[in-house]
Amino acid sequence: MRHVVTGEAVALELSSVSVITRGASLLLDLVIYWTAMVLAFVALGLTGATLEISEAAAAALSLATVIGFLVVVPVAVETLSRGRSVGKLAFGIRVVRDDGGGVRFRHCLIRGLAGFAEIYLTLGLLPLLIGVFTERGKRLGDVMAGTYAIRARHPKVRPVLLPVPPATAAWAELADIGRIPDELAAGASRLLSTVQAAGSTVDRSALTAVSDRLAGEVIRYVAPAPPATSSVEFLTAVMAERRNREYRRLARQQQRAEKLHQRLHRLPYR
């Protein structure tokens, strides 16, 4: 998870993508572009044989086809889709600016021109080496354009339906639960969902190790300290009480919205 500070001084939590995922999406894009380029060359060959095009014109068309499919088309696709391509869409990633904003034509153009040199002239070795040693898995085009890839598609997390444990009910009702980071809350929810689904068949040693680690991170956002209990019960109490408070808050908002709706649609002087 990477923290990005926007121009409005707002901290965003954007998870960057690993070099392996980026390489797989790039490989899929290259297969598509090269397949389209080969088909275009076949069409040009058939057209040239029919129309008897000169060698100079055929060479110019061939060069334009290579530049078009390896530079122009990738730049156009990323610009129109705001940092997406077929490969990135398949792997659920998107290219954004370093401040978390959407990319524009100049970012995509720099990435496309640099990508042609670093990918094809070095056979993909330069992006691999730079991606391993940069903080967010950037390639040279990302460093020059000020961009990087984030994970735009996340797995759905089912809501935790476990109730607050009786031993911690009184504490949870009065505890001050701060804003738990989304990634940490998702990890705790996945753990409790596993406990809820697996029951007694879960590996207790692995469960205890993971729950202790998550509890040590969650406790920093909770005050006062919980009573003596297990880490699983502590996480269950925090997540269940967090869910209950959010439900009550949304219920109050809905009630206020319904009352306002009735007042606005009530006949005058009634």
- 148 beta partners: 96
Angle at 73 between CA 68 and CA 74, to 5 degrees: 125
C-alpha distances (whole Å) from 41 to each of 47, 141, 158 are 10, 28, 50
Determine if the pTM surpasses 0.75. Answer: no
Dist CA 72 CA 161 (whole Å): 51
Would you give per-residue pLDDT tens digits along the chain (270 residues)? 444 444 444 445 556 788 888 889 999 999 999 999 999 988 888 777 677 777 788 888 889 999 999 999 999 999 999 899 999 999 989 998 888 788 999 999 999 999 888 888 888 888 888 888 887 888 888 999 999 888 887 666 555 567 888 888 888 888 888 888 888 888 888 888 877 776 666 667 777 888 888 888 988 898 888 888 888 888 888 888 888 888 888 889 888 888 887 777 665 655
